[in-house]
Amino acid sequence: SLKGYARSGNSGATMKVSGRIHADLWGYPDPSPGVNGFETGDNNDPPAARLGFRRIRFGVAGDLWKNTLYKVEMEFAGGNDVEFRDVYLGLTELPILRTLLIGNQKRPYGLDHLNSSRYNVFIERPFVVEAFNQDARRFGICSYGVSEDEAYNWRYGVFNQRLIQDEGNYISNHWQCQIAGRLANTIWYDECSDGRGYAHVAVSGTWADTAGDQNTENYADSGINEARFRTRPEARTVSRWLDTGVIDGADDYSLLGLENVINVGAVQFCGEYEQVWLQRDAASELQFHGGYFYVSYFLTGEHMPWDRETGCLGRVVPFENFFLVDTCCDGVRGGWGAWQIAARYSRLDLADNDIQGGIGDSFTFGMNWYWNPYANVQFNYIYGNIYDNSLNAAGGIDDGDYHVLGLRFRCDF
Amino acid sequence: SLKGYARSGNSGATMKVSGRIHADLWGYPDPSPGVNGFETGDNNDPPAARLGFRRIRFGVAGDLWKNTLYKVEMEFAGGNDVEFRDVYLGLTELPILRTLLIGNQKRPYGLDHLNSSRYNVFIERPFVVEAFNQDARRFGICSYGVSEDEAYNWRYGVFNQRLIQDEGNYISNHWQCQIAGRLANTIWYDECSDGRGYAHVAVSGTWADTAGDQNTENYADSGINEARFRTRPEARTVSRWLDTGVIDGADDYSLLGLENVINVGAVQFCGEYEQVWLQRDAASELQFHGGYFYVSYFLTGEHMPWDRETGCLGRVVPFENFFLVDTCCDGVRGGWGAWQIAARYSRLDLADNDIQGGIGDSFTFGMNWYWNPYANVQFNYIYGNIYDNSLNAAGGIDDGDYHVLGLRFRCDF
Amino acid sequence: SLKGYARSGNSGATMKVSGRIHADLWGYPDPSPGVNGFETGDNNDPPAARLGFRRIRFGVAGDLWKNTLYKVEMEFAGGNDVEFRDVYLGLTELPILRTLLIGNQKRPYGLDHLNSSRYNVFIERPFVVEAFNQDARRFGICSYGVSEDEAYNWRYGVFNQRLIQDEGNYISNHWQCQIAGRLANTIWYDECSDGRGYAHVAVSGTWADTAGDQNTENYADSGINEARFRTRPEARTVSRWLDTGVIDGADDYSLLGLENVINVGAVQFCGEYEQVWLQRDAASELQFHGGYFYVSYFLTGEHMPWDRETGCLGRVVPFENFFLVDTCCDGVRGGWGAWQIAARYSRLDLADNDIQGGIGDSFTFGMNWYWNPYANVQFNYIYGNIYDNSLNAAGGIDDGDYHVLGLRFRCDF
Residue from B17, B68, B214 to probe the interface with C (highest C Cβ count within 10 Å):
B68
The burial class, CB within 10 Å (0-12 / 13-18 / 19+), for B33 is middle
Report how far residue B315's alpha carbon sits from residue C296's, in angstroms, rounded to the nearest whole number. Answer: 50
C74: nearest CA in chain B? B74
Are A94 and B324 within 8 A, CB to CB? yes
Cβ within 8 Å of A, C 66-95: 66-68, 70, 72, 74, 78, 80-84, 87-89, 91, 93-95
Query: Is the Cβ pair B17, A8 closer than 8 Å?
Result: yes
> Are A11 and C4 inside 8 Å of each other by CB?
yes
What is the distance between the alpha carbons of residues A270 and A284, in angstroms, rounded to a whole number?
34
3-state secondary structure B121-147: CCCCCCHHHHHCCCCCEEEEEEEEEEC
Three-class DSSP category at C402: strand
pLDDT-based confidence at residue A328 (cuts at 50, 70, 90): confident
Q: What is the dihedral of CA B240, B242, B245, B247, to 10 degrees?
A: -150
How confident is residue A127, by pLDDT bands cut at 50, 70 and 90?
Answer: very high
Residue B34 sits at φ, ψ, to 5 deg, of -65, -40
Q: Is the pLDDT of residue A330 over 90?
A: no
pLDDT, average across residues A157-170: 96
**pLDDT at residue A305 is higher than 80:** yes
Q: Does A169 contact B51 at a Cβ distance shorter than 8 Å?
A: yes
Instruction: Give the 3-state secondary structure of residue C184.
Output: strand
User: Which is nearest to A360 in space by CA: A379, A383, A394?
Assistant: A383
Question: Under an 8 A CB cutoff, do C372 and B60 touch?
Answer: no
Mean pLDDT, rounded, of chain B: 95
Answer positive or negative: Cα dihedral of C306, C308, C313, C318. Answer: negative
* Predicted confidence (pLDDT) at residue A51 exceeds the cutoff of 80: yes
Q: Which of C57, C70, C98, C222 to mutate to test the interface with A (most CBs of A within 10 A)?
A: C70
pLDDT bucket at A220, cuts 50 / 70 / 90: very low
Query: How far is residue C363's CA from residue B370's CA, in Å, rounded to a whole number?
Result: 61
> For a pLDDT cut of 90, what percent of chain B falls above it?
91
Q: Containing H/E element for C101?
A: strand C98-106
pLDDT average, residue stretch B113-135: 98
Can you give the pLDDT at residue A11? 86
Which residues on chain C are in Cβ contact (under 8 Å) with A76? 72, 74, 82, 84, 87
The Cα-based distances of A106 to A56, A84, A85, A86, A209 in angstroms read 18, 12, 9, 8, 18
Count Cβ atoms below 10 Å from residue A239 Cβ, excluding itself.
16
| Residue in A13, A103, A219 closest to B48 by CB | A219
Best of C3, C98, C171 to disrupt the A interface (most A CBs within 10 Å) is C171
What is the rounded CA–CA span in Å between residue A101 and residue A95?
Answer: 14
Decide if A375 and C170 are in contact by the 8 Å CB cutoff: no
Residues 188 to 207 of C: which have CB under 8 A from any A CB? Answer: none
Which range (A2-6, A61-65, B112-116, C230-234) has the least confidence? A2-6
pLDDT range class, residue A218, cuts 50, 70, 90: low
Contact C35, A35 (CB under 8 A): no
Instruction: Provide the mean pLDDT of chain A.
Output: 95
Rounded to whole angstroms, how far apart are CA atoms B246 and A306? 61
Instruction: Determine contact, residues B36/B48, Cβ cutoff 8 Å.
Output: no
Residue C398: name the closest of C348, C347, C356, C355 by CA.
C356
Nearest CA-CA partner of A158 in A137, A180, A138, A173: A180
- Name the amino acid, one letter, at C124: E
- The CATH classification number of C22-53+127-136+150-412 equals 2.40.160.10
The Cβ of residue C191 has, within 10 Å, a number of other Cβ atoms equal to 8
d(CA A14, CA A70): 10
C-alpha distance from A399 to closest chain B C-alpha (Å) = 35
Q: Is A413's Cβ below 8 Å from some Cβ in B?
A: no
Distance from CA of C307 to the nearest CA of A (A): 22
User: How does residue B222 score in pLDDT terms, banded at 50, 70 and 90?
Assistant: low
Q: Taking a C-beta distance cutoff of 8 angstroms, is the pair A304, A265 a contact?
A: no
Identify residue C136 by its one-letter amino acid code: A
Q: How far apart are CA A140 and CA B402, in angstroms?
A: 27
| Residue B102 contacts C where some CB pair is shorter than 8 Å | yes
Three-state DSSP at A345 gives strand
H helices then E strands: how many in chain C? 3, 24
Amino acid C94 reads L
Chains that touch A (3 or more CB pairs under 8 A): B, C
DSSP A7-68: EESSTTB-EEEEEEEEEEEEE--S--HHHHHHHHS-TTSPPPEEEEEEEEEEEEEEEETTTE
Q: What is the CA radius of gyration of chain B?
A: 22
Q: Calculate what percentage of chain C has a pLDDT beyond 90.
A: 91
Interfacial A residues in 24-43 facing C (CB < 8 Å)? 24
Residues of B in contact with A166 (CB under 8 A): 79-80
Confidence of residue B173 (pLDDT cuts 50, 70, 90): confident
d(CA B154, CA B97): 11
Q: Which candidate in A53, A64, A409 is best for mutational testing of the C interface (most C CBs within 10 A)?
A: A53
Residue B3 contacts C where some CB pair is shorter than 8 Å: yes
C contacts of A79 (beta carbons < 8 Å): 82-84, 164-168
Biggest distance spanned by C-alpha atoms of chain B: 80
What's the whole-number mean pLDDT along residues B227-248? 96
At the fourth CATH level, which superfamily is domain A17-412?
Answer: Porin (2.40.160.10)
Interchain contact, B323 vs A66, CB within 8 Å:
yes
pLDDT confidence of residue B331: 84
Question: Is residue B154 pLDDT above 90, yes or no?
Answer: yes
Do the Cβ atoms of A68 and B409 come within 8 Å? no
Of B9, C160, B56, the residue nearest A83 (C-alpha): B56
Residue C227 Cα, gap to closest chain A Cα (Å): 19
C12 CB within 8 Å of a chain A CB: yes
| Of the candidates A147, A166, A199, A17, the residue with the CA atom closest to the CA atom of residue A85 | A166
Of B13, B79, B322, the CB nearest to A168: B79
Interface test with C, best of B60, B89, B142 (most C CBs within 10 A): B89
Nearest to A165 by CA among A73, A256, A92: A73
The answer to whether the CB atoms of B7 and A4 lie below 8 A apart is yes
How many angstroms away from the CA of B355 is the closest CA of chain C?
A: 31
Which C positions 42-61 lie with beta carbon below 8 A of chain A?
59-60
Question: How many degrees, rounded to 5, is the angle at CA A340 between CA A335 and CA A345?
Answer: 165
Among A4, B144, B140, B93, residue whose Cα is nearest residue C321 = B93
- From C187's Cα to the closest Cα of chain A, the distance in A is 26
Question: Nearest CA of chain A to the CA of B191: how many Å?
Answer: 24
Predicted complex ipTM? 0.96
Quick check: B139 contacting C, CB < 8 Å? Answer: yes
How many CA atoms does the CB half-sphere of B412 hold within 13 Å?
20
- State the Rg of chain A over Cα: 22
Of C65, C66, C173, the CB nearest to A48: C173
> Looking at beta carbons, which pairs linking C147-151 to residues 24 or more positions away fall under 8 Å?
C150/C186, C150/C189, C150/C308, C150/C309, C151/C185, C151/C186, C151/C187, C151/C308
Asked if residue B24 has pLDDT above 50, the reply is yes
Confidence of residue B328 (pLDDT cuts 50, 70, 90): confident
DSSP B46: P
Task: Please identify every stretch of chain C with a pLDDT value under 70, giving residue numbers as ranges.
Answer: 1, 215-223
Residue A162: closest CA among A145, A140, A191: A140
Q: Given this model, what pLDDT does residue A173 score?
A: 84
**B contacts of C3 (beta carbons < 8 Å):** none
pLDDT confidence of B223, banded at 50, 70, 90?
low
Q: Which of B23, B60, B373 sits opposite A102 (nearest CB)?
A: B23
Is A61:A52 a contact under the CB 8 Å cutoff?
no
Q: In which element (H, E) is residue C81 found?
A: none
pLDDT at A214: 73
**Subunits with at least 3 CB pairs below 8 A relative to chain C?**
A, B
* Residue-range domain boundaries for chain B: 16-162+174-412
Within 10 A of B284 (CB to CB), how many other CB atoms are there? Answer: 11
Spell C376-389 as b/e; 16+ CB within 10 A means b. bbbbbebebbbbbb
Which CATH entry fits the domain spanning B16-162+174-412: 2.60.40.420, 3.10.105.10, 1.10.3720.10, 2.40.160.10? 2.40.160.10
Q: Is A104 on the interface with B (CB under 8 A)?
A: yes
Contact B156, B321 (CB under 8 A): no
The whole-number pLDDT of residue B212 equals 78
Q: What pLDDT does C304 receive?
A: 98
